Chain A
Amino acid sequence: MIKQADICIIGSGAGGAPVAHTLALAGFKVIVLEKGPLYNEDDFKKDEIAVARRSLFTPNLKDEFHTVETFDEDGNIVKESGWNFWNGAMVGGSSNLMSGYFHRMKPNDFKLKSIFGEVEGANVVDWPIDYATMEPYYTKVEEVVGVSGKMVDHPYREDRSTPDYPYPQTWEHPIATWIDASCAKLGYYSMPTPRAIIPYDALERRGCSYSNLCGSYGCATGAKSHAKSALLDKALRSGNCEIIPDAFVYKIESDKESANGVHYYDKNGESHTIEAKIYVLAAQAIESSRLLLNSKSIDFPNGLANNSGLVGKNLIFSAGGSGTGKLNFENLPKERQESLLLRGAFVNRSLQDWYEYDEKEEHIKGGTIDFLFEHANAIPRALDQVYDDNGDLVWGKPLAKSLHHAFERSRVMTFEVFNDWMPTDNCFVTVDDEESDKWDVPVGKIRLYGHPHDLKVGNYLADKAVKVLEGLGCEDITSSISDSPPPNLVAGGCRFGNDPLTSVLDLNCKAHEVDNLYITDASFMPTGGSVPYTWTIYANAFRVADKILEVMQNDV
């Protein structure tokens, strides 16, 4: 049976949901196809075994996987397996599992090439739109999706159309003030981290319950501003939106100029078709490129929208890394020990002092540092204790002593560094002609390469973060900046731009080569900014949704 809709959206996360919300509330018939199952808030339990140890929310890697190519020390390409690039296959996508550290991109992020110049071996370009174009949509996300925070002055504070966030900060742990003091001594501008979490009941959702298990877990109250609770539930209530879960899209049909049908398998392996006036692809960067490349036709022999050969190119991640420092109770005043036992409250502190910096007469794009507690999952914290300083396994009394100290007499602070991942010719997605998934569809093949510039910037920022941890009294401080990609922070592959010879999408994120195909996940991003992507994905998807709405209204 063929179903008809005005708009068919492939993917229900932060890229797809704003389009569904905008168009359904405007009265157009929307169908959303989601590969994963539907979970409601009642389904989200703090179950470390199911969520963290058995990866309940991502596909089994024997059924669905990616092949990965990396470079060895001699520059030879090495094919690897076992990488997990899935992020949350369910209605609402990986936004269900985010921690919700929300930062806007800065004005200079939109013109990286003009401001900072070329980086040898990298394909840096300016965006075809500027911050002023995106600003109203960042604000819309704050108000409609829900962002909490508190604006303070700092050197790289971006312009805003509203004075402050619509929701006040979430409940803060006392350590936030200790970080402020440590930063003040160093001359750093500590700032509250904006969060995609609402602190009290609002937007037809419940406020945060401060469960102590947020990132990687689904939200049981709907306080986390994920795509389902914030947008899709409202789209459903309009009566104009249908969400079809467990629907794996394997091909988009097309003729010379237009997409004209989407085929998907349901969980029983039966094929179905949706026909629509407009198609929106938002399956996350890697899978969106894979679907286009697998959607070959007479008119698009290299994959849909890929007569330019650019689909899948310039894949980027968030560069940077993380570090830790331990606060040992025996070296702290009693009141601080008691404070550190408090669970559930958020640290909510960031630094953007070095979003741009000068070094050796060079003006360099820097990035963001976020501070947080070590994740509350117990099992990895216990496993951190099983090796001694020589790397030998320990057990018995010594391990029991370490476990008690780790869980009862210390707390680990963590920092995360976010900086630009240089887009290059060596980091991209294709499809693997030799490997197929459980549906017998060729899997995505990912070539990974991190530019040395990314490591240089990441280490510069990490050194600053380490100083803050030292000021806090942390011991055993570690710092790990690497070119290993974070699978949950992926973008690019279908750049937007004005020139069809150098970009897949136009400035409205419509495919240059296809009249009625838009891409609204992070694929459009030519560079990623030095912040987590989700806020920008939401904002851009709202921007594109307005363009699609114009097209639909003119069509009527």
Chain B
Amino acid sequence: MINRRDFFQYSGAVGVAILVGIAAKKYALTNNASTETYKIFDALINHLFNDKDGYVTSKLNVMGYFKGVLSDKRIDIDDREYLINGARWLDETANEEFGKGFLKLNHDKKEQLLKQVSMLRWGDNWMYKMMSYYFEALFSDPIYGGNVDAAGWKWLEFQPGFPRPNEVAI
């Protein structure tokens, strides 16, 4: 018989950490996103969830996780392309409004642009999706490549369920 305490010990994090590197490689495969797209993703995520505002984003390997998202066949290809297109639309809107791309805007201009874009239907949808995948990077088991050393769980005192996964199942 395994009682509750034994079960937690048996299923705990000890064995999982060893597999992190291997599993992370498996989830993040090659995909169609350009370097520029990742730069916009990264700038957006660091604006919405900046460590200066209390987040632990720099510890989460969010872009590593996003590489996994963009190559994840369980996510509809149209949805993955929508993420990439959204970055392009954001950049185009930045050029229209400020005469330069999103990456070149200062903090206040980025804030102004995102407030404006979030009021548009596509902007609200796209930003919500980006935030959804950010939260995946924050709360997923570290085997997926995000939430490095359980930094996201620790940040919000979140207790994962057990047994934790020991391989990427998707």
Residues of A within 8 A of B (CB): 44-50, 53-56, 60, 62, 201, 206-207, 209-213, 217, 220-221, 343-344, 376, 378-379, 382-383, 386, 392-393, 395-397, 399-401, 403-404, 407-408
- When the two chains form their complex, are residues A396 and B135 in contact, meaning their CB atoms are under 8 A apart? no
- When the two chains form their complex, are residues A46 and B164 in contact, meaning their CB atoms are under 8 A apart? yes
Chain B residue with the shortest CB-CB distance to A209: B7
The 8 closest A-B pairs by CB, nearest first: A46-B161, A213-B161, A45-B165, A54-B74, A395-B48, A50-B169, A47-B165, A378-B139
Contact with A along B134-170 (1 / 0, CB 8 A): 0110111100100000000000111111111110111
Given the interface contacts A49-B141, A376-B161, does A395 sit within 8 Å of B49 by beta carbon? yes
- When the two chains form their complex, are residues B132 and A383 in contact, meaning their CB atoms are under 8 A apart? yes
Residues of B within 8 A of A (CB): 1-2, 4, 7-8, 11, 47-50, 53-55, 72, 74-76, 114, 118-119, 124, 127-128, 131-132, 135-136, 138-141, 144, 156-166, 168-170
- When the two chains form their complex, are residues A396 and B50 in contact, meaning their CB atoms are under 8 A apart? yes
Chain A residue with the shortest CB-CB distance to B118: A393
- When the two chains form their complex, are residues A45 and B156 in contact, meaning their CB atoms are under 8 A apart? no
Other-chain residue from B49, B124, B135, B170 in contact with A50 (beta carbon distance below 8 A): B170
Whole-angstrom distance between the Cβ of A182 and the nearest chain B Cβ: 27
Residue numbers in A under 8 Å from B166 (CB-CB): 45
Whole-angstrom distance between the Cβ of B161 and the nearest chain A Cβ: 3
Other-chain residue from A46, A379, A396 in contact with B160 (beta carbon distance below 8 A): A46
A44 to B163, CA, bound (A): 8
Given the interface contacts A49-B140, A54-B75, does A396 sit within 8 Å of B53 by beta carbon? yes
Given the interface contacts A383-B131, A404-B156, A408-B157, does A60 sit within 8 Å of B74 by beta carbon? yes
Whole-angstrom distance between the Cβ of B149 and the nearest chain A Cβ: 17
Whole-angstrom distance between the Cβ of B44 and the nearest chain A Cβ: 10
- When the two chains form their complex, are residues A408 and B156 in contact, meaning their CB atoms are under 8 A apart? yes
Residue of A54, A382, A403, A408 most packed against chain B (CB within 10 A): A382
- When the two chains form their complex, are residues A393 and B127 in contact, meaning their CB atoms are under 8 A apart? yes
A201 to B131, CA, bound (A): 42
Q: Contacts A383-B131, A396-B49 given; 13 further ones with Cβ under 8 A?
A: A46-B165, A48-B139, A49-B170, A201-B1, A206-B1, A220-B11, A379-B132, A382-B135, A386-B128, A396-B53, A399-B48, A400-B53, A407-B158
Residue numbers in A under 8 Å from B140 (CB-CB): 48-49
Residue numbers in A under 8 Å from B8 (CB-CB): 209
Residue numbers in B under 8 Å from A396 (CB-CB): 47-50, 53
A212 to B153, CA, bound (A): 15
Whole-angstrom distance between the Cβ of B146 and the nearest chain A Cβ: 9
Other-chain residue from B76, B156, B161 in contact with A403 (beta carbon distance below 8 A): B156
- When the two chains form their complex, are residues B164 and A45 in contact, meaning their CB atoms are under 8 A apart? yes
Other-chain residue from B50, B131, B162, B168 in contact with A211 (beta carbon distance below 8 A): B162
Other-chain residue from A44, A220, A376, A382 in contact with B138 (beta carbon distance below 8 A): A382
Whole-angstrom distance between the Cβ of B101 and the nearest chain A Cβ: 20
Residue of A207, A383, A393, A408 most packed against chain B (CB within 10 A): A393
- When the two chains form their complex, are residues B50 and A210 in contact, meaning their CB atoms are under 8 A apart? no
Residue numbers in B under 8 Å from A343 (CB-CB): 159
- When the two chains form their complex, are residues A379 and B135 in contact, meaning their CB atoms are under 8 A apart? yes
Residue numbers in B under 8 Å from A395 (CB-CB): 47-49, 114, 131
Chain A residue with the shortest CB-CB distance to B6: A209
Residue numbers in B under 8 Å from A379 (CB-CB): 132, 135-136, 139
A378 to B138, CA, bound (A): 9
A47 to B165, CA, bound (A): 6
A386 to B118, CA, bound (A): 12
Chain B residue with the shortest CB-CB distance to A211: B161
- When the two chains form their complex, are residues B135 and A400 in contact, meaning their CB atoms are under 8 A apart? no
Other-chain residue from A47, A201, A400 in contact with B169 (beta carbon distance below 8 A): A47
Chain A residue with the shortest CB-CB distance to B111: A396
Chain A residue with the shortest CB-CB distance to B143: A47
- When the two chains form their complex, are residues A45 and B169 in contact, meaning their CB atoms are under 8 A apart? yes
Residue numbers in A under 8 Å from B72 (CB-CB): 54
A344 to B4, CA, bound (A): 10
- When the two chains form their complex, are residues A378 and B158 in contact, meaning their CB atoms are under 8 A apart? yes
- When the two chains form their complex, are residues B7 and A221 in contact, meaning their CB atoms are under 8 A apart? yes
Residue numbers in B under 8 Å from A407 (CB-CB): 156-158
Whole-angstrom distance between the Cβ of A315 and the nearest chain B Cβ: 28
Chain A residue with the shortest CB-CB distance to B124: A393
- When the two chains form their complex, are residues B144 and A49 in contact, meaning their CB atoms are under 8 A apart? yes
Other-chain residue from B55, B131, B164, B170 in contact with A56 (beta carbon distance below 8 A): B170
Chain A residue with the shortest CB-CB distance to B73: A60
Residue numbers in A under 8 Å from B161 (CB-CB): 46, 211-213, 217, 376
A491 to B160, CA, bound (A): 34
- When the two chains form their complex, are residues B163 and A46 in contact, meaning their CB atoms are under 8 A apart? yes
- When the two chains form their complex, are residues B128 and A393 in contact, meaning their CB atoms are under 8 A apart? yes
Whole-angstrom distance between the Cβ of A220 and the nearest chain B Cβ: 5
Chain B residue with the shortest CB-CB distance to A391: B124
Residue numbers in A under 8 Å from B128 (CB-CB): 383, 386, 393
Residue numbers in B under 8 Å from A386 (CB-CB): 128, 131
Residue of A46, A49, A62 most packed against chain B (CB within 10 A): A49
Question: Please, could you name 19 A-B residue pairs with CB atoms under 8 Å apart, sorted by A?
Answer: A45-B164, A46-B163, A48-B140, A49-B141, A54-B74, A201-B1, A209-B4, A209-B8, A209-B162, A211-B162, A344-B4, A382-B139, A386-B131, A392-B119, A395-B114, A396-B49, A400-B53, A403-B156, A408-B156
Chain B residue with the shortest CB-CB distance to A62: B76
Chain B residue with the shortest CB-CB distance to A210: B4
- When the two chains form their complex, are residues A49 and B156 in contact, meaning their CB atoms are under 8 A apart? no
Residue numbers in A under 8 Å from B139 (CB-CB): 48, 378-379, 382
Residue numbers in B under 8 Å from A382 (CB-CB): 135, 138-139
Chain A residue with the shortest CB-CB distance to B152: A378
Residue numbers in B under 8 Å from A210 (CB-CB): 4
Residue numbers in A under 8 Å from B47 (CB-CB): 395-396
A378 to B144, CA, bound (A): 16
Whole-angstrom distance between the Cβ of B14 and the nearest chain A Cβ: 15
Residue numbers in A under 8 Å from B2 (CB-CB): 206, 209, 221
Residue numbers in B under 8 Å from A212 (CB-CB): 159, 161
A379 to B69, CA, bound (A): 15
Whole-angstrom distance between the Cβ of B156 and the nearest chain A Cβ: 4
A46 to B157, CA, bound (A): 17
Whole-angstrom distance between the Cβ of A383 and the nearest chain B Cβ: 6
A212 to B164, CA, bound (A): 12
Given the interface contacts A45-B163, A206-B1, does A56 sit within 8 Å of B169 by beta carbon? yes
- When the two chains form their complex, are residues B135 and A397 in contact, meaning their CB atoms are under 8 A apart? no
- When the two chains form their complex, are residues B53 and A378 in contact, meaning their CB atoms are under 8 A apart? no
Residue numbers in A under 8 Å from B158 (CB-CB): 378, 407
